[in-house]
Amino acid sequence: MSFLDNLESTLKNLESREERDPEAQKRREAERASVLATAPWAEKLKKSPYTQEVLASAARIGHQTPAKSTWLGSTLP
């Protein structure tokens, strides 16, 4: 069996195991509810004047270093 066939088989087994696991379903639903609850606040934070000023300051400082900041979902790493 080739590496890719083995990988595909392993992924199918994991998916079928997860579909039968009621706890996995509950975790996904809880995560989805959390994301939906925080989405409006994250959007307001992204568009707030304070955040824009922080990002502008970070950009000014960042010209001295190769690091950049960007939003990943509702998180600014």
* Total tally of structural domains belonging to the chain: 1
Question: Helix or strand or coil: residue 77?
Answer: coil
68 located within any domain: no
Q: Which domain holds residue 47?
A: 3-62
Q: What is the pLDDT along the chain (77 residues), one digit of tens a residue?
A: 688 888 899 888 887 877 777 787 888 899 999 999 999 999 999 899 999 999 899 888 877 776 666 777 777 76
* 72 falls within a domain: no
Residue 71 is assigned to a structural domain of this protein: no
Residue 49: inside a domain: yes
Domain assignment present for 67: no
Sequence-ordered alpha helix ranges (H) in the chain: 3-20, 22-47, 49-62
Residue 59 structure tokens: 């950009």
Cβ atoms of 58 and 69 within 8 Å: the answer is yes
In a domain, 29, yes or no: yes
Q: Rounded to two decimals, what is the model's pTM?
A: 0.46
